[in-house]
Amino acid sequence: MKKNSRLLVATLGLCLTAGMLFSNGSTAEAGLTDNCLSSLSGGVASVIEPSSYSASDLIIETAEKLNLTLDTEPEEEEDIRDYELVMVNVKGTLNVRTGPGEKYPRVGMFYKGGGGRVLDHQDGWTKVQSGNVIGWASDEYLLFGEEAEAMANDIGKLIATINTESLRVRQEASITSKVLGILPQGEMIGVEEEQDEWVKVTYEGQEGYLCKEFVTLSFKIGVAQTLEEIKKNEKAEYEASRYKKYGAVETDEEILKLLAAIIHCEAGGEPYEGQVAVGAVVMNRVRSSAFPNTIREVIYSPGQFTPAMTGKLDRLLESGKIYESCYKAAAEALSGVSNVGDLLFFRTLNGRSGLVIGHHVFF
């Protein structure tokens, strides 16, 4: 019955859309599906005037009259908060093994701030699932329950994935507010605050809002890496180092561009001091035993920098459209300058205590 209802609704939608096309004549004004959505590639949205009902409005209204049930809820991503959470409590790294004991071989490694899902407990060890790693870690270095949740909330990231064709980014939490830009389906962006009907994000260095109805939310934390993944990262760093220029050139141009790009993604709209601060955090992590010891590995470590996770960083690197100020900030950070001391983390200013620079707090 549910399948037949869906077929009927789909047919009904086509009929309604066709009717609207004929009623509007052969030439239609381009419009938007509703006040939150935007179409980038035509379709129904390109033939309906903004002031009229959208096709989806008509389908829903007619379905209600026919007592049909519509499946409108998007499929949710797996969220770590739905399971028993475990976080690692180490200053450096933590080995993950094939069995509950140090005699078992390693299968992967956690870095500081990582976590995962609890699968089992045995003799002071916990079986965890994190990223592509499934194995055992010693309870001596793990946090559970409220302690794990507190750490995850402190350093984790809430991610919104666009689940419709395209979605407007608003300046305020209102459908009448100015449009800052449009995000395509599948785009992921970090969430600064979750509200009843909206989520607040940072878009191109500005505060923006997305209709919550059209995004899928998932909570991301740093995850463990398999030994194969660690080796792959080390190999990539070695390949990059082969093209380093020696002599008067202080750093590899490719690494300089990578650091400038992550600064652009995270602080492109921030004052220059804030851009240097983001670069300094990256370099502090490289120098810290709690993180990988190369710039590339630090930036691409799972769960650490949202632009690296979402693909935004790679797209920027491909386009090459990086602000000159971000290159300057990257060069300054590479020279050893740090205006945040030895701090290792930052996030959008949200009341957390720490060193405030622009719209970020460093801690």
**Per-residue model confidence (pLDDT) at position 136:** 97
C-alpha–C-alpha distance, residues 321 and 309, integer Å: 19
Q: What is the CATH number of the domain that holds 126?
A: 2.30.30.40
Q: Please report whether residue 13 resides in a domain.
A: yes
Same domain, residue pair 333 and 276: yes
Q: Please report whether residue 72 resides in a domain.
A: no
pLDDT digit string, tens, across residues 82-102:
679 999 999 889 999 999 999
Same domain, residue pair 342 and 267: yes
Same domain, residue pair 19 and 113: no
- What six digits make up the tokens of 160? 């919104």
Instruction: Tell me which of 119 and 82 has the higher pLDDT.
Output: 119
Same domain, residue pair 18 and 103: no
**Closest listed residue to residue 206, CA positions, set 184, 178, 186, 185:** 178
User: Is residue 25's pLDDT more than 80?
Assistant: no
Q: What is the CATH number of the domain that holds 272?
A: 1.10.10.2520
User: Is residue 152's pLDDT more than 50?
Assistant: yes
What mean pLDDT comes out for the span 160-175? 94
pLDDT digit string, tens, across residues 169-224:
999 999 999 999 999 999 999 999 999 999 999 988 889 999 999 999 988 888 99
Query: What is the share, in percent, of the chain residues with pLDDT greater than 90?
Result: 47
69, 52 Cβ separation under 8 angstroms: no
Same domain, residue pair 199 and 250: no
Query: What's the per-residue H, E or C state across the chain?
Result: CHHHHHHHHHHHHHHHHHHHHHHHCCCCCCCCCCCCECCCCCHHHHHCCCCCCCHHHHHHHHHHHCCCCCCCCCCCCCCHHHCCEEEECCCCEEEEECCCCCCCCEEEEEECCEEEEEEEEECCEEEEEECCEEEEEEHHHEEEHHHHHHHHHHHCEEEEEECCCEEEEECCCCCCCCEEEEEECCCEEEEEEECCCEEEEEECCEEEEEEHHHEEEEEECECCEEHHHHHHHHHHHHHHHCCCCCCCCCCCHHHHHHHHHHHHHHHCCCCHHHHHHHHHHHHHHHHCCCCCCCHHHHHHCCCCCHHHHHCHHHHHHHHCCCCHHHHHHHHHHHCCCCCCCCCCCEEECCCCCCEEECCEEEC
Which structural domain range is residue 84 located in? Answer: 80-155
Q: Please report whether residue 234 resides in a domain.
A: no
85, 149 Cβ separation under 8 angstroms: yes
Supply the pTM of this predicted model: 0.52
pLDDT digit string, tens, across residues 299-334:
998 888 989 988 999 999 999 999 999 999 999 889
Q: Please report whether residue 226 resides in a domain.
A: no
Q: Please report whether residue 245 resides in a domain.
A: yes
How many domains does the structure of the chain reveal?
Answer: 4
Would you place residue 128 in the very low, low, confident or very high pLDDT band (cuts 50, 70, 90)? very high
What mean pLDDT comes out for the span 30-46? 43
